[in-house]
Amino acid sequence: MQGLWIIPTPIGNLRDLTLRSLDTLQQMDVLWCEDTRQSLKLLRHYSISPKPLRPFHAANEHKAVERLFAEAMANNWKVGLLTDSGMPGLSDPGFLPIREAHRKQVPVYVLPGPTAFLTALIASGLPSDRFVFEGFFPRKGRDRYIHAFLSEERTTIWYESPHRLIQTIGYLRDTLGGNRWACIARELTKLHEEVRRGTLAELYAYYAAQVPRGEVVIVVAGASYREA
C-alpha cells in the first residue's frame, strides 16, 4: 500500500474543492467513502474517471478497517479517504483508518481544505484566538455535560441538526444564560447561507418563529465575553 490520503471535500459549494484535492482524487487507485453516492456525485462533477469505491462509514468502520487495509496492501494501492463533506476525522469517520495506517507504517497524507466549524467560527465575529470544538451537541446526559461550560472562557462550537436546533438553543439559553453571545451559521457556502448573530435569548426568539433548514453550526462565546 503506497499511502492513505485524507481528502477534505466541499461543505456545500462544489467549487470549494482545492486544486491539490482534485489532483489527488485523480491519482488514487481506490476511494473509501462515507457515502459512495455522494462521492460519485463529486467525481462526476469534476469528470474524474470512475474508481473502485468502498463504503466506509460509522456503521461499518470497525468491521471494515482490517478488510479494506488487507485489500489495499495486497494491491499496493493509493487510497483516498472521503466523507460526505469537510475533513474526514472531524465528527466523521477517519480516526480508525488513520490510526491503523500508523500502526501498519503506511504513510498518511492530510490535505487541507473546507471545514464547517472553522468557517462558522470566523464568520461569527466571536473571539477566535482560543476555542473548543465539541462536535455534535449530545442528545443524552446534557445536564451533566453542560456543567463544564458554565464558566468556559473559550468560544465553544457545536454541530446540530436543524430539527433539534430550537430545543438546543433553548437549553443553552436556560443553562448558560440568555445574555450569552452566540452565532448560528446555517447552510454554509450554499445558496441559502445564513449567519445570524445575537444573544442566546435573541436567537431563540428568532428561530422559534423561523423554521431552520440545512446543516447548522452553533458558536457560543466564552462566559466573560461582552460586546463593547
**What are the boundaries of each domain within the chain?**
3-110, 116-220
What are the two backbone dihedrals, phi and then psi, of residue 164, each rounded to the nearest 5 degrees? -110, 0
pLDDT tens digit sequence for 107-146? 999 999 999 999 999 999 999 999 999 999 999 999 999 9
Whether the per-residue pLDDT at 29 is higher than 80: the answer is yes
Whether the per-residue pLDDT at 201 is higher than 90: the answer is yes
Whether the per-residue pLDDT at 39 is higher than 80: the answer is yes
Mean pLDDT of 52-79: 95
Average of per-residue pLDDT values in the chain: 96
- The per-residue b/e assignment along 165-175, b for 16 or more CB within 10 angstroms, e otherwise, is bbebbbbbbee
Q: Which residue matches cell numbers 465553544?
A: 156
C-alpha cell read off for 130 = 482560543
The CATH topology of domain 116-220 is: 3.30.950
For the whole model, what pTM was predicted?
A: 0.93
| Residues in the chain, overall count | 228
The CATH topology of domain 3-110 is: Cobalt-precorrin-4 Transmethylase; domain 1 (3.40.1010)
| 202 burial type by CB count under 10 A (0-12 exposed, 13-18 middle, 19+ buried) | middle
